[in-house]
């Protein structure tokens, strides 16, 4: 039996996935004596599903985590095989950086980074239960006999809490394939009366790359620009691999339809809702039956193995159906499956029971991050890990909370959505969720967040120095942008105007701007591009500033003292929504879907009539 | 403690004394209060009954029609009782004074009833603005407009716009958020058409006159050279002897104005000094300048001079004012004689026709300044979306448009709107 050498910590993180790793690193950066507990420490930093990080909306969050000196972006660059900027032809605000990574290198990079924190300990153990003292969490029982103590605990259990795997008619209790689930902890959560529910997700079969007919398929190469996920990374690693694209066809669809009888999704054995934006292939065929084919991206999983991830055909159909389906696809006719796809159903907690620091309202010191909060995706998980870890450290060390609001970041948007709206299906980030999208770009994440993160002690000296260097460059460029220039050099008529004006008016690109002001050449292209984007959207961003001010004003109207149960004039449905989310300010209340202006007025009227001093 | 626990009451009808006064009670104690007052339970809700009202000593206060409307389908969303008493000051005061002694009852403050209706979701902001207009409406046109808004027609239109807008938004967001939407980079042609139609429809609303104009009336200005008969015509139109009339040119110096209601529509008619540029009289000169400023702000001008000398204006009616002694110089002039009382009906119907063009079409409501400003904002963003080819900016303009619509219904910035809204109501409404 394993024995824990130390058993007193400031912060304990349960789970070694993307949320847990980011949480552990954030807590450690804030100076907390931190432990990360996982079933198997060799699997910490595992990419359970696709071997890629980033994408639309998701890439933004990786950049934001990086701006707070988080670890996901840096590890991604260390393991990168293939870079692609999605939506490259559209405006900068919606461009999504995505990187295919080597999953073995990624795990190694994470282990290295975590190993560099002296105040972070990895513990291999199964968590049996929480130790609770009064209204606070105090520690954990491990391996049926041992205890560890901390005043702040982050649960980042992913799909492991009450995890169940489905494939065809087979069912197994597990969190990931060949790994056991946390069953006892799941029971305790339900016994505590926490609002738990079930969600599902899935993963595709893994293919043997040596049996794929690559030559017959359309090739997708890495883009050849120089951007990286982390501003810590100085250049891209080599070598780079290529991906390939194939499609399902009518024959594939017939095979899938014939196999639906055995599907756990369609037979009703899986109760949990699945992600609408990342549906299984059987779901796609069922919902979009008239399409003649669906794209599949073939993504190499590692330089050191032949495993290939076919992105787009997540499935829980029976082994036989999966075999027939793969064999029907162009380029995969003689392809061997190394591991079959499966669906996993798991426990999640209604995130409306959390505060904006991701701490459970009902039990002090207990934080939740990642899939357990109803989200899907590595990036969503890691971003919550950052918030939960930083705030768990705040709790343990009595420091200030680390809160990001909707105007500051995608991370802020996600946390706000989760704690106010709850989820009905796994939550995936989309740029459409961010109302201040024009100012929340991937390329300005450092500018937006590094100073805030630095204010709460999340930033290393190394990053602080490089940020200040770049901030100086940004200030210099801003001055040059305010200087006036004649447009004649560019063949533009009119009197002298600021460079900012020309960028906006004549949609200057980088080369044209340098042509007008050669001094701009001395600055790094990413910083210059950021300034150009700011100038291009300036009128819109100024207008948004007023809107953001409105939002922040209404957030200053505190409702934290209100008892939503007794406010008159609210319909039962609205009262229910308010009781579940317990918005602590008027702005938050106004964002809850289905809360009418009249209800807001009732809340406001009540808040004004009931000064804080009267309650408690 | 519940927020709206008190039951409130107030005189809901007009000034006393009058034939019948209506006292309204709203809140959870209403039915209880009624039972105490009448000492005899009602057989049925929502049916009027004739009852004596008694005070604490059992003395009769009045004999009244009483009705009980149970919540929630009432004006305020709460239990409501209405007492139709005799309209004497003494009776109403006696009933009110007695009600005030009952536990849990208190006199309503200004706007209390409407506030409760709003809080209980019985009315939205646009409807309340309409109600305020309804209560102060003086002409048939104002009243119709106010009723339309109170019944939620503006809210219905706003909802329709928002539905259309969300559909367009969804399309653009699909383009921006789907990884494999490469190749599609703008709205479909059908959606562009829908957007254009929406912009055209919203523009019609903006071109309609404001509630303020409906209320204050359409401004009609009599202008022309000195001694053209403006003041005589002015007196005839307002059917009073208001302006001094003399054969001496330059009699009218300042602007005279009168509010009249012609065929259910409010007008402000203004008489101005004759436009005599040659005068040396500084008072008359000032009068001429005032006349010129007034002409610029007029909705309709009645021009009593030679048509060739008329000022530039979109709505100008040429009048030959002394038709009994002088022939019209142009076929466009309407011959009018105050002395022989001819042509006045024709002139009035001409004015009404011009006003018809200025006032809202029957399917479009007049807007408040607040509403109009927001709809102008909406229009601005939709136009910008239509002109842009950058999907990100199209999406941003759609989002701003929705924000403007949310402000109309009070979804955002609610606290500002509420603060100055309810104070405008009188007690009992």
d(CA A204, CA A202): 7
CA distance A208 to chain B (A): 25
Residues of A in contact with B391 (CB under 8 A): 90-91, 94
Say what percent of chain B tops pLDDT 70. Answer: 85
Check CB contact under 8 Å for B119 and A568. yes
pLDDT-derived band at A569, boundaries 50, 70, 90: low
CB contacts < 8 A (A, B): 109
Beta bridge partners of B180: none
Residue A198's closest CA among A264, A268, A271, A269? A271
**Mean pLDDT for the stretch of residues A171-189:** 81
Point out the least confidently predicted range of A231-240, A251-260, A269-278, B193-202. Answer: A269-278
What is the predicted pLDDT for the residue at A338? 96
Q: Which among B118, B179, B391 has the least Cβ separation from residue A601?
A: B118
pLDDT at A60: 97
Interface contact flag, B176 A87, Cβ < 8 Å: yes
Q: Which residues of B touch A567 (CB under 8 A)?
A: 2-3
| CB-CB contact of A371 with A158 (8 Å) | yes
Separation in Å, CA of B411 to nearest CA in chain A: 5
Query: If DSSP codes are grouped into helix, strand and coil, which group holds residue A375?
Result: strand
Q: How far apart are alpha carbons A154 and A408 in whole angstroms? A: 24
Percentage above 90 pLDDT, chain A: 60
What is the structure's pLDDT at B427?
46
The Cα diameter of chain A in Å comes to 81
- pLDDT bucket at A615, cuts 50 / 70 / 90: very low
| pLDDT higher at A326 or A183 | A326
Residue A556: the pLDDT is 84
Distance (Å) from the alpha carbon of B80 to chain A's nearest alpha carbon: 15
How do the residues of chain A divide into helix, strand and coil, expressed in percent and rounded to 5? Answer: 40, 20, 40
By the 8 A CB rule, do A136 and A365 touch? Answer: yes
Task: Identify whether B406 is preceded by a cis peptide bond (ω within 30 of 0).
Answer: no
Contact B119 A601 (CB under 8 A): yes
Q: Where are the alpha helices (DSSP H) in A261-318?
A: 281-287
Q: How confident is the model at residue A616 (pLDDT cuts 50, 70, 90)?
A: very low
Lowest mean pLDDT among A323-337, A483-497, A590-604, B407-421: B407-421
Q: Say what the pLDDT of residue B383 is.
A: 94
Question: Taking CA atoms, what residue in A is nearest to B173?
Answer: A432
Token pair for B183: 């190749």
The count of residues in chain B is: 429
* pLDDT at A454 exceeding the cut of 60: yes
Taking the C-alpha atoms of residue A326 and residue A316, their distance in angstroms, rounded to an integer, is 13
pLDDT tens, residue by residue, A113-138: 999 999 999 999 999 999 999 999 99
Q: How many CB atoms lie within 10 A of CB A383?
A: 34
Residue with tokens 């009197």: A495
Phi, psi of A354, rounded to the nearest 5 degrees: -105, 155
Residues of A with CB below 8 A from B1's CB?
566, 610, 614
Reference A162, options A185, A133, A138, A139; nearest CA is A185
List Cβ neighbours of A341 (8 Å cut-off, separation of 6 or more).
Answer: A167, A202, A203, A204, A205, A313, A314, A315, A316, A317, A322
- Preferred mutation among A568, A586, A611 to probe B, highest tally of B CBs within 10 A: A568
Q: pLDDT confidence of B418, banded at 50, 70, 90?
A: low
Tokens 């603005």 appear where? Answer: B129
The more confidently predicted of residues B127 and A582 is: A582
Helix, strand, coil percent values for chain B (each to nearest 5): 45, 15, 35
Task: Extract the tokens encoding A605.
Answer: 């009227």
Residue-wise pLDDT tens digits, B337-356:
888 888 889 999 999 888 87
Q: Which of A31-35, A602-606, B59-63, B100-104 has the lowest mean pLDDT?
A: A602-606
The answer to whether the Cβ–Cβ distance between B392 and A438 falls below 8 Å is yes
Contact B176 A94 (CB under 8 A): yes
What is the pLDDT at residue A609? 65
Instruction: Return the pLDDT at A331.
Output: 95
Specify whether the CB–CB gap between A419 and A581 falls below 8 A: yes
Instruction: Quick: pLDDT tens for A380-439.
Output: 999 999 999 999 999 999 999 999 999 999 999 999 999 999 998 899 998 888 989 999
Q: What pLDDT is recorded for position A614? A: 39
d(CA B342, CA B352): 18
Q: What residues of B are in contact with residue A606 (Cβ under 8 Å)?
A: 3
Of A57, A554, A568, the CB nearest to B3: A568
Going by the DSSP 8-state scheme, the letter that residue B210 receives in this structure is B
* CB atoms A437 and B392 under 8 Å: yes
Enumerate residues 6+ apart whose C-beta is below 8 A from B405: B158, B161, B162, B165, B374, B378
Query: What value does the mean pLDDT of chain B take?
Result: 82
Q: Confidence class of residue A612 from pLDDT cuts 50, 70 and 90? A: very low
pLDDT score for A613: 39
**How much is the pTM?**
0.77
Using a CB-CB cut-off of 8 Å, the residues of chain A touching B410 are 597-598, 600-601
Question: Is pLDDT of B420 > 60?
Answer: no
Question: Going by C-beta distance under 8 Å and a sequence separation of 6 or more, which residues neighbour residue A126?
Answer: A39, A142, A143, A180, A182
> What are the backbone angles phi and psi of residue A93, rounded to the nearest 5°?
-65, -25
- With bands split at pLDDT 50, 70 and 90, how would you rate the model's confidence at B212? low
Instruction: Tell whether B412 lies on the interface with A, counting CB pairs under 8 A.
Output: yes
- What are B180-192's pLDDT values in tens digits? 545 677 888 999 9
CB A316 within 8 A of CB A344: no
| Interface list for B 32-61 with A (CB within 8 A) | none
HSE, CB side, 13 Å, CA atoms: give it for residue B157.
Answer: 21
Is the CB of A550 inside 8 Å of chain B's CB atoms?
yes
Q: Does A89 touch chain B (CB under 8 A)?
A: yes
| pLDDT > 50? residue B425 | no
Q: What is the pLDDT at residue A5?
A: 67
Minimum-distance CB partner of A55 among B173, B179, B414: B179
Where is mean pLDDT largest: A385-389, A489-493, A530-534? A385-389
Cβ density class A26-54: b for 16+ within 10 Å, e for less = bbbbbebbbbbbbbebeebbbbbbbbbbb
**Average pLDDT over every residue of A108-113:** 96
Q: What is the DSSP letter of A562?
A: -
Average pLDDT of the residues in B54-71: 92
What confidence score (pLDDT) does residue B60 get? Answer: 92
Q: Which two tokens stand for residue A107?
A: 């795990």
Q: Which chain A residue has the Cα nearest residue B409?
A: A597
Q: What is the mean pLDDT of residues B145-162?
A: 78
What are the tokens at A503?
Answer: 């960028």
The pLDDT of residue B248 is 76
Instruction: Provide the pLDDT for residue B63.
Output: 92
The predicted model gives A255-278 an average pLDDT of 82
Between chains, do B121 and A432 touch, taking CB under 8 Å as contact? no
pLDDT at A517 over 60: yes
Q: Picking from A210-224, B91-105, B129-143, B300-314, which range would have the lowest pLDDT averaged per residue?
A: B129-143
Q: Does B177 contact A at CB distance below 8 Å? A: yes
Asked if B125 is an interface residue toward chain A (Cβ–Cβ < 8 A), one would say yes
Bigger pLDDT: A31 vs A263 = A31
Does the CB of A90 have a partner CB in chain B at under 8 Å? yes
Is A567 an 8 Å CB contact of chain B? Answer: yes
Q: Residue A610 — pLDDT band, cuts 50, 70, 90?
A: low
Strands A34-38 and A11-14: parallel
From A597, A606, A609, residue closest to B125, measured CB to CB: A597
pLDDT at B424 over 60: no
Q: How many residues does chain A have?
A: 616
Q: Report the residue from A91, A96, A606 with minimal CB separation from B3.
A: A606
Lowest-confidence segment of A104-108, A323-327, A430-434, A444-448 by average pLDDT: A430-434
What's the confidence (pLDDT) of residue B170? 84
Return d(Cα B345, Cα A83) in angstroms, integer: 82
CB atoms under 10 Å from CB of A196, counted, come to: 17
Which residues on B lie below 8 Å from A566 (Cβ)? 1-3
- SS3 at position A3: coil
**CB contact B329 to A (< 8 Å):** no
Residues of A with Cβ-Cβ distance to B399 under 8 angstroms: 435
pLDDT in tens, A463-479: 999 999 999 999 999 99
Chain-wide mean pLDDT for chain A?
A: 89
Nearest to A81 by CA among A234, A242, A306: A242
The stretch B404-417 carries a mean pLDDT of 67
Instruction: Kindly state the greatest CA–CA separation across chain B.
Output: 85
Residue with tokens 């967001």, as numbered in its chain: B173
Residue-wise pLDDT for A23-51, tens only, equals: 999 999 999 999 999 989 899 999 988 89
Give the tens place of pLDDT for each residue, B263-322.
777 888 999 888 877 777 777 778 888 888 888 878 899 999 888 888 888 889 999 988
Task: Decide if A431 and B177 are in contact by the 8 Å CB cutoff.
Answer: yes
Q: Quick one: average pLDDT of A355-362?
A: 96
Residues forming a β-bridge with A199: A273, A346
């Amino acid at each position: 039996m394993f024995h824990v050498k130390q058993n007193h910590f400031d912060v304990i993180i349960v789970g070694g996935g993307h949320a847990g790793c980011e949480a552990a690193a954030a807590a450690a950066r804030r100076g907390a004596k931190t432990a990360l507990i996982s079933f198997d420490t060799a699997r910490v930093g595992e990419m359970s599903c696709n071997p890629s990080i980033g994408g639309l909306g998701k890439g933004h969050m990786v950049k934001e985590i990086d701006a707070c000196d988080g670890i996901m972006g840096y590890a991604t660059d260390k393991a990168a095989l293939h870079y692609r900027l999605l939506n490259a032809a559209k405006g900068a605000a919606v461009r999504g950086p995505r990187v295919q990574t080597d999953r073995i290198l990624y795990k190694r990079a994470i282990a290295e980074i975590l190993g560099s924190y002296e105040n972070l300990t990895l513990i291999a153990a199964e968590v049996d239960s929480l130790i609770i003292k009064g209204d606070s969490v105090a520690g954990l029982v491990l391996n049926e006999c041992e205890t560890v103590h901390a005043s702040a605990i982050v649960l980042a259990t992913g799909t492991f809490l009450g995890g169940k795997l489905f494939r065809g008619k087979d069912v197994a209790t597990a969190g990931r394939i060949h790994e056991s689930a946390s069953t006892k902890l799941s029971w305790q959560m339900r016994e505590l009366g926490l609002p738990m529910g079930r969600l599902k997700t899935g993963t595709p079969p893994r293919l043997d790359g040596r049996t794929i007919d690559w030559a017959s398929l359309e090739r997708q190469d890495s883009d050849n620009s120089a951007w990286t996920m982390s501003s810590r990374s100085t250049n891209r690693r080599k070598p780079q691999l290529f991906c390939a694209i194939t499609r399902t066809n009518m024959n594939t669809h017939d095979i899938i339809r014939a196999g639906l009888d055995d599907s756990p999704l369609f037979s009703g054995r899986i109760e949990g809702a699945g992600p609408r934006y990342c549906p299984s292939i059987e779901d796609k065929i069922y919902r979009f039956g008239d399409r003649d084919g669906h794209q599949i991206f073939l993504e190499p999983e590692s330089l050191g193995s032949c495993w290939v991830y076919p992105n787009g055909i997540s499935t829980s159909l029976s082994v036989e159906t999966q075999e027939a389906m793969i064999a029907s696809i162009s380029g995969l006719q003689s392809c061997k499956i190394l591991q079959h796809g499966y669906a996993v159903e798991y426990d999640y907690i209604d995130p409306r029971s959390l505060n904006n620091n991701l701490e459970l309202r009902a039990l002090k010191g207990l934080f939740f991050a990642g899939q357990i909060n109803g989200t899907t995706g590595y990036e969503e998980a890691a971003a919550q890990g950052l918030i939960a870890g930083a705030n768990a450290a705040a709790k343990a060390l009595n420091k200030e909370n680390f809160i990001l609001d909707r105007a500051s970041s995608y991370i802020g948007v996600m946390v706000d959505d989760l704690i106010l709206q709850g989820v009905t299906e796994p939550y995936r980030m989309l740029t459409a969720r961010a109302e201040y999208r024009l100012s929340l770009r991937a390329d300005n994440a450092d500018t937006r967040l590094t100073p805030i993160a630095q204010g709460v002690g999340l930033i290393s000296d190394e990053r602080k120095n490089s940020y200040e260097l770049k901030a100086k460059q940004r200030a210099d460029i801003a001055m040059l942008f305010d200087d006036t220039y004649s447009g004649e050099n560019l063949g533009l008529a009119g009197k002298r105007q600021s460079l900012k004006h020309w960028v906006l008016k004549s949609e200057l690109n980088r080369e044209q701007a340098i042509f007008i002001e050669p001094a701009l050449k001395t600055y790094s292209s990413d910083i210059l591009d950021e300034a150009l984007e700011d100038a291009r959207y300036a009128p819109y961003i100024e207008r948004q500033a007023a809107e953001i001010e409105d939002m922040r004003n209404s957030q200053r109207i505190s409702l934290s003292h209100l008892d939503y149960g007794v406010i008159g004039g609210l319909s039962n449905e609205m009262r229910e929504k308010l009781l579940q989310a317990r918005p602590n300010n008027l702005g938050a209340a106004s964002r809850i879907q289905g809360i009418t202006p009249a209800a807001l007025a009732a809340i406001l009227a009540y808040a004004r009539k009931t000064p804080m001093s009267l309650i408690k | 403690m519940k927020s709206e626990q008190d039951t409130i009451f107030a005189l809901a009808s007009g000034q006393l004394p009058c034939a019948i006064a209506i006292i309204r009670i709203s809140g959870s104690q209403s039915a209880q209060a009624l039972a105490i007052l009448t000492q005899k339970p009602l057989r049925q809700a929502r049916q009027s009954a004739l009852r004596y009202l008694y005070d604490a000593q059992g003395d009769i206060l009045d004999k009244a029609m009483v009705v009980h409307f149970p919540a929630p389908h009432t004006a305020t969303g709460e239990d409501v009782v209405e007492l139709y008493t005799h309209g004497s000051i003494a009776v109403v005061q006696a009933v009110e004074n007695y009600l005030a002694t009952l536990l849990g009852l208190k006199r309503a403050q200004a706007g209390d009833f409407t506030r409760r209706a709003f809080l209980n979701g019985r009315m939205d902001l646009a409807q309340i603005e309409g109600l305020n207009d309804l209560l102060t409406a003086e002409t048939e046109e104002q009243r119709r407009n106010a009723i339309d808004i109170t019944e939620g027609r503006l809210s219905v239109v706003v909802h329709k716009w928002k539905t259309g807008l969300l559909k367009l938004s969804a399309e653009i967001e699909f383009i921006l958020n789907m990884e494999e939407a490469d190749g599609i980079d703008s709205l479909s042609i059908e959606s562009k058409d829908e957007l254009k139609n929406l912009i055209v429809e919203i523009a019609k609303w903006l071109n309609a006159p404001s509630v303020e104009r409906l209320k204050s009336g359409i401004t009609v200005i009599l202008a022309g050279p000195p001694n053209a008969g403006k003041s005589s015509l002015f007196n005839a139109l307002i059917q009073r002897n208001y302006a001094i009339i003399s054969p001496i040119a330059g009699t009218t110096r300042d602007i005279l104005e009168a509010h009249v209601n012609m065929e259910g529509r409010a007008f402000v008619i203004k008489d101005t000094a004759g436009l005599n540029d040659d005068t040396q009289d500084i008072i008359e000169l000032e009068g001429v300048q005032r006349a010129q400023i007034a002409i610029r702000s007029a909705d309709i001008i009645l021009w009593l001079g030679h048509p060739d000398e008329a000022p530039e204006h979109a709505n100008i009616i040429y009048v030959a004012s002394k038709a009994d002694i002088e022939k019209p110089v142009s076929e466009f002039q309407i011959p009018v004689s105050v002395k022989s009382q001819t042509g006045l009906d024709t002139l009035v119907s001409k004015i009404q026709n011009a006003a018809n063009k200025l006032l809202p079409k029957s399917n479009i409501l007049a807007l408040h300044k607040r509403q109009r400003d927001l709809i102008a904002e909406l229009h601005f963003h939709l136009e910008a979306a239509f002109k842009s080819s950058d999907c990100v900016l199209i999406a941003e303009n759609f989002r701003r448009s929705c924000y403007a619509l949310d402000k109309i219904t009070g979804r955002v910035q609610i606290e500002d709107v509420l603060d100055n809204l309810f104070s405008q109501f009188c007690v009992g409404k």
